[in-house]
Structure 1
Amino acid sequence: MVTDEFADSAWGRDWIRLAQPVRIARVNPLIPRARSLARRHQVTEVVVAPGLATADVEAHAVRITVPLWTTQQRDAVGMVVAAEHDDLPDAVHRDLVEARLAPLVDVETTCTCVGRTRPCLHVLACFFELARRVDERPRLALLLRGLTRREEAELTRIPLARIDPSTFYG
């Protein structure tokens, strides 16, 4: 299996395929620069929410809209991932794809740049950054499709930003 510096899991590879589709007539000349932008942490202010990911790249606002699952689909996905922790294995991804509940499908993108090529350099850089982030935390892929955590108390890890060092240790 070929690995990518931005994605080692099936979750991240979904985003890499958006940037670099398998079936293409010619290689997109923007790919190397988009990878460089993501590599150099030029994709900033990344926000991931149900149905939407936004970011800033070189002073351009990028918006990526992801179709939400229906309530029935979310319930089915919830049954598949209920027993899993935040680190969802590739097997869960495979099970979702086989159940026709792909974590990522066609997305719509917008960017404030004036480039004529679509997807533009900035959107491609966001795809690579999202690949990295989803690879590190696969539940983001489910959040983008609308599956949210039932209760914050169910978190298997406490985000560091929520810890007050002065009170954490008693």
Structure 2
Amino acid sequence: MMVMGLMSGTSCDGCDVSIVEIEEGRPKLLFFYSKEYTEDLRKRIRKCMDREKGTVDLITQVNFEIGHFFGEVAKEAIVKSGITPHLIASHGQTIYHIPRPDQDKGEKTKSTFQIGEAACIVEETGIPVISDFRVQDVAAGGDGAPLVPMADFIMFREEEIS
């Protein structure tokens, strides 16, 4: 199975794309590509992260902007690599993450919020998209991070050692 992964970190630098082939649970990297956010989009994302400036209307707009941006980057990666994935996995852009609520700040419950609307990626590419990876872990009582060590364990463990 060919899978494309889309990721943007809290540095808000842009979107990283990988295309991997997964057979028997072992991924094989076939292609990697990065594209930077425009300065304007980077500023808008940072504004979404600001408790005072991150309004609902701004967040909903940037959610769709990032979704379309990720979709465009995915299409570029498909053209550059010549590989069309069976599905796309998109982490999105974290704009707020509260793994341990601070009552003094008025935080009542653990939560996390990533934007980059998956439906926009589907519309841009026509490829099924899975997303909201952190949300399930937080809903189940976890911290929503780190995600990579668990993926490493699942994909690279050896039955005799791990």
Please tell me the TM-score bracket, short chain as reference: 0.3 to 0.5
Larger RCO: 1 or 2 (CA < 8 Å, sep 6+): 1
- Identify, as 1 or 2, the structure richer in strand: 2
* TM-score for the superposition, normalised by structure 2: 0.34
